[in-house]
Structure 1
Amino acid sequence: MTIVTDVLLLVAALLTVAAGVGLLRFGDALSRLHAATKPQVLGLLCVLAAIAVGNGRWDLVPALVPVAALQLITIPVSAHMIARAAYRTGNYRGDLLTTDELAPAVEAAAQRDESQD
């Protein structure tokens, strides 16, 4: 069990380092968001799995499942809200977007605001 625990913790540490490097290296908010959310969630799941395997007790699993579930629910929601704020403030590189599906809605809202003033 120790080898499995060590491997899970090593993978978690590597994923966390990759997330940190991505946060420092990427230029715009959307790219940084990708680097912050994907490896961090996987790293946390590896740490939780290492805790479960390392202790060798099944009574810890019901305590770890809500932690994993809440992270899997809250991380995408918070990432969506940050991405939305970054888009609205223009903190993104448009040349990296394949399709900008939100641009027509933003333009329509801007025109609607101008006509009301």
Structure 2
Amino acid sequence: MPDPSSLPPALSALAPLLLLAFVAGSFTQLTRVLSRPGRQPLRRTAAQALAAGVAALTVTALLSAALPAPVAPALLLAAACVTGWSGPAVLVRLSVLIERQLGLRPPLPGRDPER
């Protein structure tokens, strides 16, 4: 793991929040999965929790970059929890939006390009 003092100042200031976002998203998804009736295999449950954590971290990082400078950490943490509840499928939708904005993904035949 890199030495925190060697990271750029902006990243070292954001690192604790991103770590908290990852943990919050993972824990939220884990809570959601474990509250369902029946049992799921441990490996699948862990994979869903980790993927939700990555999604929460990604959304938090993007929001912190896109919103005006003084972003309330509580807002970013709330976004991480909502993303964690939704799970990793949020990344699919987010990537489609970003690809369309960048012009990287052509519209599918028979579908409205503005959807």
TM-score range, shorter chain: 0.3 to 0.5
Larger Rg over CA atoms: 1
Instruction: Give the TM-score taking structure 1 as reference length.
Output: 0.34
